[in-house]
A and B are shown apart, each in its own frame.
Chain A
Amino acid sequence: VTDQQAENTGALAVIDMSGPAAALSEFGRTHNLVISAWPAPGVGRSEYLAAVRLAGLKAAVHLAQAARGAEAERVEVFELPSHARVPAALAHLPRVAYVFQIHSHQRPTGVDEGILYGDPIRRMLPTVIHPNEILDGAVVRGFMGRNATTWAFQNHPLIRALYTRHGRALWFAGVVVTVAQATEPERVRSAFVAAGLVAHVLGADGAVLTKIGGGAPHVDMAQAAAQCEALGVKTTLIVEDMSTDGSADGMLLFNFPGMDALVNVGSGQEPFVFPPMERVVGADDQAARLRGEMRATYGTLCGAIEQVGATKVMAQVQ
């Protein structure tokens, strides 16, 4: 779904199907249907964004219905019993939880901006949900979710990675969904509640945390992780490279002791040159630019930088 009112047409704007960037994003390999809908006169910004997103979700359901009855090429089973029922033989495995920050309130969240089961979660406290709910589409990206796509949530790479090792190298203890808060007291409360769920309800030994949005959510996640560590839960965080001038000094916006296990998913702000493309589909207003060489950033390329760690792009300190 394209946003025809976007101020910054650069963000997540381009899918490269055949050029050098095709390998960087999953969308270079998927079949993509683009819906471009223009707002009627007088329609508000939030209403418009909610409408085009609903159109995208409905289109997805229609497409899925067309495949109903077709034989599956591959079947994967995601089975996670209640966390209280760990077989005794597997009780020695380290219990690992996932703290999934699903939205940021650093900008006002629209009343129509459904995030979790269609709710704009404007007052949500950290909540335990089953990982399969996320794979089934419970979480949808917010209107302004930078370097994040709903597709990555529904094929959640971290949940899948935890399932892959579940029962062998670890016991997948469950998922806590959180929101990056707008004020300090809410942030502190959220960090305490999330860490309490991870340590005392899920009984986790370790947790992976991811974030959505920009700087404030980055710190919000770190605060929750610091609280987990304080309760004896070892953490690993997935961060994007936040530097705006390409310096390693600016990669990180927090400095908590013990937060020593960080994975990065690259820099969305690093320049990226798109070579000229013979065939450009959709986005008539952008087509002329794309037929020539276009100087943009990694953040322009839809799906290259994913906050939840869906791709292999990473920023290397050189």
Chain B
Amino acid sequence: MTSEPMRTQAMDTLRVVCYLNQFFGQLGGEDKAGVGPQVVTGAVGPARAVEQALGAAGTVVATVICGDNYVAEHVERAVGELLALVAAQRPNLVVAGPAFLAGRYGVACGALCAAVQAELKIPAVTGMHAENPGVDLYRRHVYIAQTGAEAARMLEEVRRLVALGLKLVRGESIGAPAQEGYFARGVTHNTVASETGAERAVAMLLDKLAGRAFASEVPLPKFPNVPAPRLIKTLEGATIALVTDGGWVPRGNPDGIEALNATRYGAYSIEGKADLDAAQYDNVHRGYDTTYVKQDPHRLVPVDVARELEQQGAIGKLHETVYSTVGVATTLAHSARMGREIAEKLRAAGVDAVILTST
């Protein structure tokens, strides 16, 4: 029901490692921003606030410090070196920052936390101001507590950070972002609300009708607006390709395109074909009634009409490869990747325009 605990084990006192930049690690200001990774036993600077917030629950066994520029200039190498220093301490939890509005520091905290979780399989938390570039870069992978722009309320903010970290270590359920004070990671989890969906819907409508504030339970999508490119050539001189997400495949589905939640697409030649023989094709889409497109695949992939237009000279040429996938319950990430890959191949083949048939 909740996010899976990264590690749950019986522990009396947790071993915590803190990460700080050169400034908060008390090595110096901008003049020391180039210093490499180093480790100090126990808590330094803000790590003392972590120690205090932990109370009896844990101890800061070490503070790892690194200059902002050192990380910014060689991220991979720096994170690798920091990871080795952290791992040597055998921690149960890593607390990075808080980085407030410091950009390089925020990115370093995010990168280290993400690496700690992926490589060491232990939870890591950090804290930043909403405008820190590290938030957008790492919020999906790392719990980032919201902080002010500056270290004005350090102890209070560190307490929230530590509370979040302790919940993760213990495998306890994490509440809503607004309630726990972290940046939404963009993942969804089923929870139990105080009213039924029906009650909430009627209450929300009454609020909307009365002009009162209401909170939608689904964030509105922020899809970028893609302007349709202009065709520079005339159609008579253009090469046109057919692409579909309607599940058209050669019989036997040679590429194993999934019936839903697709991660694959196929490229199928229509060279030498004036039209499509229904007996040679199938349809694996599980999101609509495919009876009619199985009867006659041209209803989805109009090779017959496109060939006629090609013969008449209405279009310059029909591209000899048709790209096909299944567009049902496909994740946004896979859709974007497949679209990008297909577009690159079409462009490399000199295709000028695409007829995309969807369902």
User: Are A and B interaction partners?
Assistant: yes
Chain A, 150-190, CB within 8 A of any chain B CB: 157-158, 160-162, 165, 169-170, 182
Q: With an 8 A cutoff between CB atoms, is A30 at the interface?
A: no
Contact at B187–A312, with CB atoms within 8 Å?
no
Q: With an 8 A cutoff between CB atoms, is A260 at the interface?
A: yes
In the assembled complex, the Cα of A207 lies from the Cα of B209 at a distance in Å of 10
Contact at B199–A250, with CB atoms within 8 Å?
no
User: B109: shortest Cβ distance to chain A, in Å?
Assistant: 20
In the assembled complex, the Cα of A59 lies from the Cα of B40 at a distance in Å of 74
Contact at B188–A241, with CB atoms within 8 Å?
yes
Contact at B202–A239, with CB atoms within 8 Å?
no
Question: Which chain B residue has the least Cβ–Cβ distance from A298?
Answer: B190
Q: State the majority secondary structure of interface residues on B.
A: loop
Contact at A169–B206, with CB atoms within 8 Å?
yes
Chain B residues with CB under 8 A of A158: 198, 201-202
* Among candidates A208, A311, A317, residue contacting B205 with C-beta atoms closer than 8 Å: A208
Chain A residues with CB under 8 A of B287: 106, 214-216
Chain B residues with CB under 8 A of A309: 196-201
Contact at B220–A247, with CB atoms within 8 Å?
no
* A267-B188, A314-B193 known; A252-B218 Cβ under 8 A: yes
Contact at A247–B186, with CB atoms within 8 Å?
yes
In the assembled complex, the Cα of A309 lies from the Cα of B201 at a distance in Å of 8
Contact at A236–B289, with CB atoms within 8 Å?
no
In the assembled complex, the Cα of A170 lies from the Cα of B187 at a distance in Å of 36
Q: With an 8 A cutoff between CB atoms, is A265 at the interface?
A: yes
Chain B residues with CB under 8 A of A108: 289, 291
Report how many residues on chain A are interfacial, defined by Cβ distance under 8 Å: 67
In the assembled complex, the Cα of A311 lies from the Cα of B200 at a distance in Å of 11
Q: Tally of A-B residue pairs with Cβ under 8 A?
A: 195
User: B223: shortest Cβ distance to chain A, in Å?
Assistant: 6
* A272-B1, A316-B189 known; A170-B216 Cβ under 8 A: no
Chain A, 17-36, CB within 8 A of any chain B CB: 23-24
User: A186: shortest Cβ distance to chain B, in Å?
Assistant: 12
Q: With an 8 A cutoff between CB atoms, is A315 at the interface?
A: yes
* Among candidates A105, A239, A259, A314, residue contacting B191 with C-beta atoms closer than 8 Å: A314
Contact at B221–A263, with CB atoms within 8 Å?
no
User: A28: shortest Cβ distance to chain B, in Å?
Assistant: 13
Contact at A247–B205, with CB atoms within 8 Å?
no
Chain B residues with CB under 8 A of A245: 331, 333
Q: Mark B169-208, 1 if CB is under 8 A from A, else 0.
A: 0000010110000001111111111111111111011101
Chain A, 71-108, CB within 8 A of any chain B CB: 94, 96, 105-108
Chain B residues with CB under 8 A of A211: none
Chain A residues with CB under 8 A of B56: none
* A248-B184, A317-B187 known; A312-B194 Cβ under 8 A: yes
Q: With an 8 A cutoff between CB atoms, is B261 at the interface?
A: yes
User: B143: shortest Cβ distance to chain A, in Å?
Assistant: 9
Q: With an 8 A cutoff between CB atoms, is B3 at the interface?
A: yes
Q: With an 8 A cutoff between CB atoms, is A149 at the interface?
A: no
Chain A residues with CB under 8 A of B217: 262-264, 314-315
Contact at A165–B288, with CB atoms within 8 Å?
no
Contact at A105–B198, with CB atoms within 8 Å?
no
Chain A residues with CB under 8 A of B208: 206, 234, 236, 261
User: A235: shortest Cβ distance to chain B, in Å?
Assistant: 8
Q: With an 8 A cutoff between CB atoms, is A12 at the interface?
A: no
In the assembled complex, the Cα of A261 lies from the Cα of B214 at a distance in Å of 8
Chain A residues with CB under 8 A of B219: 248, 251, 317
In the assembled complex, the Cα of A270 lies from the Cα of B190 at a distance in Å of 7
Contact at B209–A263, with CB atoms within 8 Å?
no
Chain A residues with CB under 8 A of B192: 23-24, 312-314
In the assembled complex, the Cα of A312 lies from the Cα of B223 at a distance in Å of 29
Contact at A264–B218, with CB atoms within 8 Å?
yes
In the assembled complex, the Cα of A23 lies from the Cα of B192 at a distance in Å of 10
Q: With an 8 A cutoff between CB atoms, is B332 at the interface?
A: yes
Chain B, 319-354, CB within 8 A of any chain A CB: 328-333
In the assembled complex, the Cα of A105 lies from the Cα of B201 at a distance in Å of 25
18 contacts between A and B (CB under 8 A): A96-B205, A108-B291, A162-B202, A170-B206, A182-B289, A236-B205, A245-B333, A247-B331, A248-B186, A251-B218, A261-B208, A261-B214, A264-B218, A308-B197, A310-B197, A315-B191, A316-B188, A318-B189
